[in-house]
Structure 1
Amino acid sequence: MIVIGDSYKFTKYDLEKLNKKFPQIVHISYKDKNVKDVIKAIKQTLDNEKGKKLIVLNTDVPVPDELIKYLTSLELEGISFLSIEHFLEKYLHKCYIPENPNDLSFLEDIKPYSKWQYIQKRFIDFFGIFWLFFFSWPVMLYCVYRIKKESPEGPIFFKQKRVGKNGKEFVCIKFRSMVPDAEKGKPQFANEDDPRVFKWGVVMRKTRLDELPQMWNILKGEMHLIGPRPERKYWVEQFEKVIPYYNERHVVAPGITGWAQVNYPYGANVEDAKQKLMYDLYYIKNWNIWLELKIVWKTAMTVIMKKGV
């Protein structure tokens, strides 16, 4: 794979996935380069590398006609090329967020669920939490026991206002996994090996057991079983200032688990929030039953293998 330009910075998680399909990834700089030099660099790379090839245009600036003509001529030789937008959706299953906030074409397919899609979602919600409760109630009782044993000075449940559909706040309920007053009045990101999390809290977070009480939020219609993770208003306001289109994730109701949660670890900064948004927007844009089932399967593997962080 040849990547021309560096508009999108691939994360280590992206590269881990891509290296399974593309053993060799070559980057060619595009910024402030003469188009003839870029074409020459592409030719040299193609001559040196054997096998099937893909060229990715990783740039936000207009591509000169000369380069477009060259790339289309390569298609006759079986060498395909994609824009970074289409590449991310096809191979990494996430939506590209351009740095230019004036490019509104990005929003065209980010829409609320249709009436039929919403009916399907609610059927999945009720069917899912019926069986989830059926199998998990003994586990939830054990969680209550362990929380009271390891952190008796605090409540069993952790209640916090989160931002839901259309930007409206609701009270999200979870099993408490941290010591009481963990934030001391100041919002903080949770991270791996967080000292505020007690021993059983670590297990609950890795297996997502702390999310089980949110079945009540689903019954009330505030959440779905699957959807973007609900975030606090404080963080939403911070992210809106620096991440284009962040509010688009609120066109649908949040979920206990989601495409971002099974593809990316807990966020610890703005860049992590942007990466998760890319997955959330892909989910909203490409929603279908098969994607829903895939998330259920990947969530189950996360719980069984304790891969959450």
Structure 2
Amino acid sequence: MSHFTLPTSVISAPSRRVIHRLRKGNRTGKGLLLITGYDYFLTKRDYKRLLPQYEEVILVPRHTDDEYLLNVILYPILSKYALIHLVANPEYDQQHHQVYQFMVKQSKMIRVSTITDFCEQMLGKVYIAQNAHERTFTNDLPVFRPGIRVLKKGMDVLASIFFLFFTSPFWVWCALRIKQQSPGPVFYRQARVGRQDQEFYCVKFRSMRLDAEVAGAAFSSKKDRRTFPFGAFMRKIRLDELPQFLNVLKGEMSLVGPRPERKVFTTSFENQIPHYQTRHQVKPGITGYAQICYPYGAGVKDARHKLMYDLYYIKHWSIRLEAYILWRTVITVITKQGC
């Protein structure tokens, strides 16, 4: 499900068994959003985008009892709304047909969207089904055209030279502080998966203790106990990422793109998440759309959420989107909101 903890004040007591229900504090007359066949795709960020647009949001999980939904949940509240936005998830059930007919009988104005269109148009991500056997789009997403690749390469080279020159004092400072707090190498080289599944060595300032992975590979987290104090500080303002500009100059990475993962994780994700391989059709990035939209996460569920944003970036790439991601990254660094 989502990563958003719903206050009990926005969930009606009778519906807690099967249906999530979010209400705004004040009536706005903007209508009701009803999502059938709901599985897991809304996040805290999504709720913040939706609640200003709708007075109420009802999420109907898969296999919800029709009688309960229609007569107990919907019928008592329909009189409050002139407009209903019904989002159908045909991957899982046909319940939306019954809901639609029910609302027609109540003479309601209904707007119907598929879950795929809803995610792309309103939430800025490409919907990926929870079930690994489901395919939410039939054709592969378009990869970057040659013109886009040349443009991004030029931006990457110029920006890398600029940042390497003007951040050189930070390199000296980071090296000294790392040596003071954690004996061992200043840099950390780790094999990551790049474009076309080619592995490369990603370079970062070392932020974790030397014994950080004695128990095996593990995801980073917001409050990672494996870091030493200055290492945690570097992560928070992304100083540990500075050496990756060397990877960008070598052509292994880009300024913006899906974050590179380790082979041990990508192999697992490709077997469990539909379309995961698509993210490897472009160069990985120092920052990315998923990084500014989604926090640190560990496991398949978080990887699937991040993939939705990565695929949106690939499908809808533009200079404006590229600039927006870079701007949001700068704001994150300045305000120390790194995860």
TM-score for both structures, normalised by structure 1: 0.88
Please state how far the C-alpha of 1:196 moved relative to its aligned partner: 1.1
Q: What is the aligned counterpart of 1:5 among 37, 45, 52?
A: 37
| RMSD of Structure 2 on Structure 1 (CA) | 2.8
C-alpha contact (below 8 Å) 2:289/2:313 kept by paired residues: yes
Deviations 1:150-169 (A, max 9, x none): 11x11110000000011110
- Report SS of the residue matched to 2:227: coil
Which residue does the alignment assign to 2:234? 204
5 Å-filtered alignment, 1:122-141, equals 122-141=153-172
Counterpart CA distance in 2 for 1:92 and 1:12 is: 11
5 Å-filtered alignment, 1:128-207, equals 128-151=159-182, 153-184=183-214, 186-207=216-237
**Long gaps (5+) in structure 2:** 1-32
The yes-or-no answer on 1:19 pairing with 2:71 is no
Please state how far the C-alpha of 1:7 moved relative to its aligned partner: 2.9
* Amino acid paired to 1:2: L
C-alpha contact (below 8 Å) 1:35/1:64 kept by paired residues: no
Query: Larger % of helix: which?
Result: 1
Which residue does the alignment assign to 1:278? 308
Which residue does the alignment assign to 2:111? 80
* Amino acid paired to 2:129: P
C-alpha contact (below 8 Å) 2:205/2:242 kept by paired residues: yes
* Amino acid paired to 1:294: Y
C-alpha contact (below 8 Å) 2:128/2:136 kept by paired residues: no
Which residue does the alignment assign to 1:254? 284
Q: Give the percent of matched residue pairs that are identical in Structure 1 and Structure 2.
A: 40
Structure-2 change in CA distance of 1:35 and 1:134 (3 Å): farther
Q: What is the aligned counterpart of 1:97 among 124, 128, 136?
A: 128
Please state how far the C-alpha of 1:70 moved relative to its aligned partner: 4.0
**Long gaps (5+) in structure 1:** none
Structure-2 change in CA distance of 1:6 and 1:114 (3 Å): same
Q: Give the total of aligned pairs.
A: 306
TM-score for both structures, normalised by structure 2: 0.81
* Amino acid paired to 2:54: F
Larger relative CO (CA 8 A, sep 6+): 1 or 2?
Answer: 1
- Report SS of the residue matched to 2:291: helix
Which residue does the alignment assign to 1:45? 77
Structure-2 change in CA distance of 1:266 and 1:34 (3 Å): closer
* Amino acid paired to 2:259: R
Which residue does the alignment assign to 2:137? 106
C-alpha contact (below 8 Å) 2:196/2:282 kept by paired residues: yes
Structure-2 change in CA distance of 1:3 and 1:184 (3 Å): same
Counterpart CA distance in 1 for 2:96 and 2:48 is: 34
C-alpha contact (below 8 Å) 1:3/1:26 kept by paired residues: yes
C-alpha contact (below 8 Å) 1:7/1:59 kept by paired residues: no
